[in-house]
Structure 1
Amino acid sequence: MLKIQKYAAIDIGSNAVRLLISNIIEQPGKPVVFKKNSLVRVPIRLGADVFLNGEISEYNQQRMIDTMTAFSLLIKSHGVVRYKACATSAMREASNSLKLTERIVEACGISIDIIDGDEEAAIIAATDLHTFIDPNKTYLYADVGGGSTEFSIIHNGKKIQSRSFKIGTVRLLNDIVSKETWTALEHWIKETTKDYDKIELIGSGGNINKIFKISRKDLGKPLTYFYLTSYYKMLQSYSYEERITELNLNQDRADVIIPATRIYLSAMKWSGAKHIYVPKIGLSDGIIKSVYYETVSSEIV
């Protein structure tokens, strides 16, 4: 007998806050199906506060409370049975993040877990990649966020190792990523990929998803290093205003898309990858799957 339940994931990132609601479809004798039902994104950009001032401004605290209140109402109206809210880099580093989580619980009942970089990388790696990858190949998986980028090595269909680096689009926009951090990332990528003959990149995050959509490639087909390099140079030839008016990018995408592309290109260069696959999955998808398989705690609605 067919059984359908709705689960929700809230991803509180350094650039945007997202609510993903997914249908969990169970049928006897068949693998469970995770089907996206609704996705809402609000570009609060917490990292712009935290990475410069060390705390979240009162203005953005109120925006967070309003957004979480709206999300709680959507969760209720969709009939969601379980949810998990995870906060990443910006909330990890904000001196007033715990106070804010208390205010949110008081306002709307949404409970937020502030997860570390390793847990974030592990949840992202739990995403359902088997339909996108060749089990006989080796991949470097890069999930680029506003405050950090999570990397995983996937070999023969299995995650070998993961690591989080404090290199993200909002940090790069504000010029607060040290040369030492870039050097550490370069060394890690080269060391972890040197024993494999051929590496392909898997990219996740809103920016690479947007680039992939613009390319009009079929899902499952990769972008080439040459294409991404050409697109990067094209983006740099436009002003911020022109990227909004002529390239039709949202204002909160038009600035971060350049540093995001730089991160993907750097990862491809250092790993020797010639192609990047874009399965359009990320932390929210990993949260849904982890809640279902009970590898993380979750809240019952």
Structure 2
Amino acid sequence: MEEDLTGYTENAVTYAAIDIGSNAVRLLIKQLESDDKPLFSKVLLLRVPLRLGFDVFASGRISEKKEKNMIRLMKAYKNLMKIYGVSAYRACATSAMRDAENGPDIIRAVEKKTGIKIEIIDGQEEARMIYNNHIEYMKGRKGNFMYVDVGGGSTEINLLADGELVCSRSYNIGTVRLLNGAVSESEWQRLGKDMKDLVLSYPGINIIGSGGNINKLIKLVKGRDSRHSRMTVASLHELYDRLKDMTVEERMEEYAMKPDRADVIVPAGKIFLTIADITGATYIYVPVIGLADGIIDGLYTSRTSGRQIAD
């Protein structure tokens, strides 16, 4: 899937992020428009559903077929970064690669054959990177907000009180894990206990959601009014009840979903609603920001952590 190819300016400072998730692998390229604020414009966003988690959460390993496809995809992404004159990039892998027994071997193979160096980041760093990119969104907001990023392999949570980060947590609960029956009861219990404890200290929590599924869910809830980035938890419950009783094929036909969205959207809804119900949240806010945006924000902030594209 390709999204929003906006104006590309030659010789502008350009950053790229590769987000290797459990369901899809994304390439995001942004250009620096103004160094004062800073202000970025999106040049390119690509999403390819490699679905690494379907291998890992079932067998503990990434298959040879998906390893080959990963190498092919990294070659393609490298060429695109060259075409767009990317100044620096960072490639980060999350839950599926963290759990894969052969993850380190695949990372070495990718670097050897493509020159792309992939970093496996832990859940805490993933949560921090997502939070850092939301700081601007939180300016001036009073009250208690919980950032919830639901991925294929894990869910990252950041709690903010009056704009200040209180805690970051990561749970091995994700959409692809749920589809594979690979989420333990003890992990659900840990999530539930943590949420109940946080509500006692920080009442009146509302949720800020991120990830491809929550963006699709709010579009389905709001319809033509999807420009508004807020929905009620009650409206999400109504949609979830409809979706969970449909087959994947019915969701694809009724809601124009791709197969790799139609199967994971119900587990995503379950995770968001579980957290919303425990915390007593009334609203879920959905800014269009994700891990890849956080990676680029980090590249700009540090100016030194990015990698150059090798020939």
* Fold match by TM threshold 0.5: yes
Once the two structures are TM-superposed, the CA of residue 278 in structure 1 deviates from its matched residue by 0.3
Once the two structures are TM-superposed, the CA of residue 41 in structure 1 deviates from its matched residue by 0.3
Determine if contact 2:154/2:171 at 8 Å carries over to the other structure.
yes
Determine if contact 1:132/1:279 at 8 Å carries over to the other structure.
no
Amino acid of the structure 1 residue aligned with 2:146 = L
Deviations 1:206-228 (A, max 9, x none): 00011122323354541101110
2:6 maps to: none
Amino acid of the structure 2 residue aligned with 1:48 = F
1:273 maps to: 281
2:75 equivalent to 1:77 = no
2:202 maps to: 196
2:134 equivalent to 1:139 = no
Determine if contact 1:44/1:60 at 8 Å carries over to the other structure.
yes
Deviations 1:36-83 (A, max 9, x none): 221000001101111111110000001100111100001000111000
1:262 maps to: 270
Amino acid of the structure 2 residue aligned with 1:39 = L
2:254 equivalent to 1:228 = no
2:7 maps to: none
Match of 1:245 among 234, 253, 261: 253
Determine if contact 2:218/2:226 at 8 Å carries over to the other structure.
no
Aligned residue pairs total 297
Once the two structures are TM-superposed, the CA of residue 102 in structure 1 deviates from its matched residue by 1.4
2:38 equivalent to 1:24 = no
2:107 equivalent to 1:101 = yes
SS of the residue 2:137 aligns to: coil
* TM-score (norm: length of structure 1): 0.94
2:50 maps to: 44
Determine if contact 1:132/1:220 at 8 Å carries over to the other structure.
no
User: Residue 26 and residue 133 in structure 1: after superposition, are their counterparts in 2 closer, same or farther (change >3 A)?
Assistant: closer
User: Residue 71 and residue 137 in structure 1: after superposition, are their counterparts in 2 closer, same or farther (change >3 A)?
Assistant: same
Amino acid of the structure 2 residue aligned with 1:91 = M
SS of the residue 1:279 aligns to: coil
Determine if contact 2:34/2:40 at 8 Å carries over to the other structure.
no
SS of the residue 2:201 aligns to: coil
Determine if contact 2:229/2:287 at 8 Å carries over to the other structure.
no
1:148 maps to: 154
Once the two structures are TM-superposed, the CA of residue 246 in structure 1 deviates from its matched residue by 2.1
Match of 1:59 among 40, 65, 73: 65
Once the two structures are TM-superposed, the CA of residue 134 in structure 1 deviates from its matched residue by 4.6
Deviations 1:71-107 (A, max 9, x none): 0001000111000000000101111111111111122
Once the two structures are TM-superposed, the CA of residue 120 in structure 1 deviates from its matched residue by 0.9
Amino acid of the structure 2 residue aligned with 1:159 = L
Separation in structure 2 between the aligned mates of residue 66 and residue 22 of structure 1, nearest angstrom = 23
User: After the TM superposition, which of the residue ranges 201-210 and 238-247 deviates more from structure 2?
Assistant: 238-247
Identify unmatched segments of 5+ residues in structure 2: 1-10
User: Residue 179 and residue 134 in structure 1: after superposition, are their counterparts in 2 closer, same or farther (change >3 A)?
Assistant: farther
Deviations 1:142-188 (A, max 9, x none): 00000000000011112111010000000100111111111100111
Once the two structures are TM-superposed, the CA of residue 9 in structure 1 deviates from its matched residue by 0.4
SS of the residue 1:280 aligns to: coil
1:291 maps to: 299
SS of the residue 2:203 aligns to: coil
Separation in structure 2 between the aligned mates of residue 179 and residue 128 of structure 1, nearest angstrom = 31
Amino acid of the structure 1 residue aligned with 2:96 = A
User: After the TM superposition, which of the residue ranges 40-49 and 287-296 deviates more from structure 2?
Assistant: 287-296
Computed over aligned residues only, the root mean square deviation of the Cα atoms, in angstroms, reads 1.6
User: Residue 95 and residue 108 in structure 1: after superposition, are their counterparts in 2 closer, same or farther (change >3 A)?
Assistant: same
SS of the residue 1:10 aligns to: strand
Once the two structures are TM-superposed, the CA of residue 297 in structure 1 deviates from its matched residue by 2.6
SS of the residue 1:246 aligns to: helix
Determine if contact 2:22/2:152 at 8 Å carries over to the other structure.
yes
2:121 equivalent to 1:112 = no
2:189 equivalent to 1:183 = yes
1:130 maps to: 136
2:308 maps to: 300
Separation in structure 2 between the aligned mates of residue 249 and residue 196 of structure 1, nearest angstrom = 37
Match of 1:5 among 10, 13, 24: 13
Identify unmatched segments of 5+ residues in structure 1: none
Separation in structure 2 between the aligned mates of residue 15 and residue 182 of structure 1, nearest angstrom = 21
